[in-house]
Chain A
């Protein structure tokens, strides 16, 4: 059974600082997603990572994927208050052996950026 673990679950940081969110998954899959969710809102797609070594950047966020280590990271550079949200990673479970769950999500990382 595919399991996806994120850490930390809660992250409070100062504006201007850098930090990394980690996403580990238990079974080989070649498709990993990062989503953002604001309170009371739906999920907004940030990145789709498709292959080992994939790196994508958008603004102050950069995501990478290491399929051999089954690890993805979401790096935040020079955080600003507008980045405060919950960030989820998700793995396509249908690409794992015997998997039937379309997306298996981590528990999410609640990020608070303080002025």
Chain B
């Protein structure tokens, strides 16, 4: 089975711009979660989508948004970029996200640099 894929792998943007990141989960997985990783704050949960609906949300401002499509692929969007948004953005997928034995499988990440 192919793993979780994320595109693009690297991005450079300037302050004030917006960016869209994409995540394709493992085939058959319906839950997609997004995380931000920075040296200062570590790994932080952004949001989780299941069956095209946001199921859980972390403590990020409204500039961070996401969506999920009927094929379970997910996108996250960051508007009005700030320097502090520079980070590695990871997505993870599971079958349902609630199964007892489930673990989250992470993609390779998108490294975003905001100048």
Contacts and interface: CB of A to CB of B under 8 A. Distances in A.
Interface of A: 31, 33, 35, 41-45, 48, 50, 88, 90, 93-94, 100-108
B45 A93 contact: yes
What's the dominant secondary structure at chain B's contact region? strand
B103 A101 contact: no
Given A42-B90, A108-B42, A102 B33 contact: yes
A107 B109 CA distance: 18
A35 B48 CA distance: 19
Interface residues of B, number: 24
A33 B92 CA distance: 14
Given A45-B105, A50-B100, A101 B56 contact: yes
Interface of B: 33, 35, 42-45, 48, 56-59, 90, 92, 97, 100-109
